[in-house]
Amino acid sequence: MYEEALDQKVPGIYLQREEIGGGEGGGGGAEVSVPALLERQGVLVGVKADAGLAPFEGPGALPGDTVTRGLERLPEACARWKARGASFTKWRSALAIRGRGGPSGPSGSSSPGPGPSSPSSFGASPAAVAANAEQLARYAAVSQAHGLVPLIEPELLIDGAHPAEAAAGALKVCRNFFFGGGSTAGGARGTHRR
């Protein structure tokens, strides 16, 4: 469907796990090899590396907290996808934002405005934020170790009544966490340079 669209517009497409094939969840029966099809058109093939979300039930968890599944068998899967021609992967975690009604500062400051006494910008618990950030960092390490570019997606859900400023505040926390965690998760495995 995308023959035209792909021309100079969409250089990469990521597939569901079952769509790239290579065992574990099918792909074998498909008449058309999707990765091959994309490669023929010069489109980079990616894979959604995570296996969906699951409730987070650690200490300090709040109702609605989630973590992402699929880290256990990720190294084997990455090796398989690489062999099937993939060049990148994606991992999604999801965090809710707590609604904060208060207006923010007029200056466009990136810190969240003074809000009511909610415990954080997140609807998610601090434990869930930490758990998700760590998962993202570990996923990125595994993916890079297999020569696959990780696309790390800590999605802040649009659900809720929060203003954009609350999203900004929550994003900040999460980003800082990740890059702290990501950069210190143990030195320098990947040497990929731009």
Partner 1 sequence: MLAARTAGEEGQQRWKRRRKKKEISATATAATAAAAAAASPAPPSEEEREGEMERLRQRERGGGRAKEAHSPPSPLSPSDQPTQEVLTAVFAAIEKINQEAAAAAAAAAAAAAAAGEGRGARGAEAAAAVSLTGLLLKLMPCVPGADAAGPAPPDERLAALTLDVLRECVPAEVPGVVLLSGGLSERRATEVLQAISAERARRARACAPSRSPYPWAISFSFGRALQASAMRLWSAGRKQRGRGGGGGEGEGEGARGGAEGAERASVAAARTAAAALAGANRDASLGVYRGPHPAADADAADGVGLREGFRGFRDDAVAREAAAAAAGARREKEGEAAAAAV
Residues 17 and 48: beta-carbon distance below 8 Å = yes
CA distance 111 to 76: 41
List binders of partner 1 among 128-187 (CB under 8 A): 129-130, 133-134, 137, 140-142, 144-169, 171-173, 175-177, 179-187
Per CB under 8 A, does 106 bind partner 1? Answer: no
Question: What's the helix, strand, coil split of the chain in %, to 5?
Answer: 35, 15, 50
Per CB under 8 A, does 22 bind partner 1? Answer: no
Per CB under 8 A, does 12 bind partner 1? Answer: yes
Which member of 55, 58, 73, 83 binds partner 1 (CB under 8 A)?
Answer: 55
Per CB under 8 A, does 32 bind partner 1? Answer: yes
Q: Give counts: helices (H), strands (E), the chain.
A: 6, 6
Nearest approach in angstroms of CB 111 to partner 1 is 5
| Of 43, 143, 41, nearest in space to 88 by CA | 143
Per CB under 8 A, does 81 bind partner 1? Answer: no
Nearby residues of 10 by Cβ (< 8 Å), 6 or more positions away: 2, 43
Nearest approach in angstroms of CB 123 to partner 1 is 10
Per CB under 8 A, does 28 bind partner 1? Answer: no
Per CB under 8 A, does 53 bind partner 1? Answer: yes
Applying CB under 8 A, the site for partner 1 has a residue count of 110
Nearest approach in angstroms of CB 156 to partner 1 is 5
